[in-house]
Amino acid sequence: MVVVCPKCKAKLKIPDEKISPDGSRFRCPKCNTVLLIRKPVKKVKELNKELVLIAHADNTVIEKGKRVIEELGFKVLTAKDGIEAMVLAMREHPFMAFIDVALPKIYGFEVCKRLKSRKETSDIKIILITSVYEKTRYKREPSSLYGADDYIEGPEIETAIREKLLGTKEPEKEEKPGPPVMEKPPEAPTTPEISRPTEEIEDESIERARRLVRTILSDIMLYHSEKAKESILRGTFREDFSSQLSEGLKLYNMRIPEEVRQKGDFFNEEIERFLKETKEKYST
């Protein structure tokens, strides 16, 4: 940064890394005046109290959540992967974000951890959408929420989102009844829906298969976070969590049609990608 000596008006160029958080003293080379230099305080953008982010890979879930959020009078941002969720949250500063833990590209729990570690986004109220695939298996809360303020379960998303947002709204003033509204005439028949290309349907079925694997892995990370982290670093994740992965594979084979499974080994592909990315992150 460049500062001007208040006495002799000389300009001094000072590297930012030489300025401590509490400020540093420098002597003007021209008039020997001692200057106390502090880094300029960056103004943090305020959160938008009317804006809510919902991030989920499933369009159906996004539409359900969006409908509830808009019914309550809020504006909505939507994201389908972790990178998009990060970018929108940092750029638009919603006051609340509902983030699925099994997002593609960057897992939702990792998105939460990164947003909470940044000063400009740390105050966003983050609600993780957990992806428990066998609800009866879990009799306790997740061992780690990665800095999130709360969590909700996917199957109850509409009710849960409504409850979380209603807690942030001020009670509305009672309005006097207005004049009676005339009933709308019947709408014209809609145009028949155009059939979707086969390629798009195939891509969606593959993404559904991958999403189920991410769900299985995200459950392991939520309910066994420290053990999972240590296992990944040791390279023993598959052995340490063989029972969970075996159970997940049975569920995968049951829920994913055989014709989709024959297109590729999506189960092991997602596990290998997850292990590689997670190990790189924890090793640095």
For domain 48-166, the question of CATH label 2.40.160.10 is answered with no
Are 149 and 127 contacting, i.e. CB atoms less than 8 angstroms apart? yes
How many CB atoms neighbour CB 270 within 10 A? 20
Average pLDDT in the 61-72 region?
Answer: 93
In angstroms, rounded to a whole number, what is the distance separating the alpha carbons of residues 186 and 102? Answer: 42
Residue 156 predicted with pLDDT over 50 = yes
Give percent of the chain with pLDDT exceeding 70: 81
Nearest Cα residue to 214 out of 152, 272, 147: 272
pLDDT tens-digit readout, 189-205? 444 444 445 455 458 89
Sheet holding 125-130, edge to edge: 75-79, 48-55, 94-100, 125-130, 150-153
pTM beyond cutoff 0.85: no
Backbone φ and ψ of 28, nearest 5°: -65, 125
Least confident of 128-132, 175-179, 225-229, 268-272: 175-179
Beta pairing, strands 34-37 & 24-27: antiparallel
Residue 185: pLDDT band by 50, 70, 90 thresholds?
very low
Predicted confidence band at 265 (pLDDT cuts at 50, 70, 90)? very high
Integer Cα distance of 231 and 250 in angstroms: 22
How many other C-beta atoms lie within 10 A of the C-beta of residue 119? 8
Render pLDDT for 92-136 as a digit per residue (tens, 0 to 9).
Answer: 999 999 999 989 999 999 999 999 999 999 999 999 988 766 655
Report the pLDDT value the prediction gives residue 171, as an integer from 0 to 100: 47
Q: Is the pLDDT of residue 162 over 80?
A: yes
What is the domain partition of the chain in residue ranges?
A: 2-37, 48-166, 203-283
Distance CA 132, CA 128 (A): 12
What is the chain's mean pLDDT, rounded?
83
What is the average per-residue pLDDT within 61-86?
A: 94
- Name the H helices within the chain: 59-71, 82-92, 108-117, 157-166, 198-223, 225-234, 237-240, 242-255, 258-261, 266-283
Confidence of residue 180 (pLDDT cuts 50, 70, 90): low
